[in-house]
Amino acid sequence: MTTQPLRSQAVPSKDAQVTLPGHSPDADRQSASSYEEAIRRFTGARVLIPGRIKLNIAVLIDNGNTVPISIVVIPTPDSLSNIESIAVFSERNPQHEVILLTVEPGHSSTEVASRIRLATSQKLIAIANFEDNTCCSDEVDVIVTLAACLEGDG
């Protein structure tokens, strides 16, 4: 089941009312651009370098309420700079910001893990900023069969 049947369920019954901001086609376009803006706000004018970060997440997700993710950052021959901060952004959650992490100063590699919610099938990006004014990112496409955020209370 994708978001399509959920959206059509939302119309008739008062009890089953599930409204989620940013789900008309117009709002989708809007959220796609501000997804990029949210990313730009984090990276600023940094130079993008390839290959230092990996976002680990299941591609097919049965339950969007609790999705394990892990982020691995390693040094490469091209870049040994220390990590400043790590962020995860979601393309189509109500808010693009998912999590922002600051690791122990003075480290060029790390592995962090958490559990997040996903409202629908979408893109997810992990970005690491480094002290030498570079950044790197890893973007993945995920399919969510049961969405988070939509169900009412009981």
Partner 1 sequence: MSIQTLIDLPQNIKRGALIRIRVSISHPMETGYRRSSEGERLSRNIIKRFSCMLNGASIFSADLYPAVSANPYFSFQHRAARSGELTFLWEGDGGFKHVERVFMSVQ
Q: Distance between CA 122 and CA 61 in Å, rounded?
A: 11
| Among the listed residues 118, 112, 60, the one whose alpha carbon sits nearest the alpha carbon of residue 85 | 112
Rounded to a whole number, what is the largest CA-CA distance in the chain?
59
Q: Does 94 bind partner 1 (CB under 8 A)?
A: yes
Determine, following the binding rule CB under 8 A, whether residue 97 of this chain makes contact with partner 1.
yes
- 50/137 Cα distance (integer angstroms): 7
2, 17, 24, 30: residue in contact with partner 1 (rule CB under 8 A): 17
Residue 154 found at the interface with partner 1 (CB under 8 A): yes
Examine residue 137 and tell whether it contacts partner 1 (CB under 8 A): no
Binding residues for partner 1, total number by CB under 8 A: 39
Tell whether residue 107 is a contact of partner 1 (CB under 8 A). Answer: yes
**Cα separation of the two ends of the chain:** 21
Contact set for partner 1, span 68-87 (CB under 8 A): 70
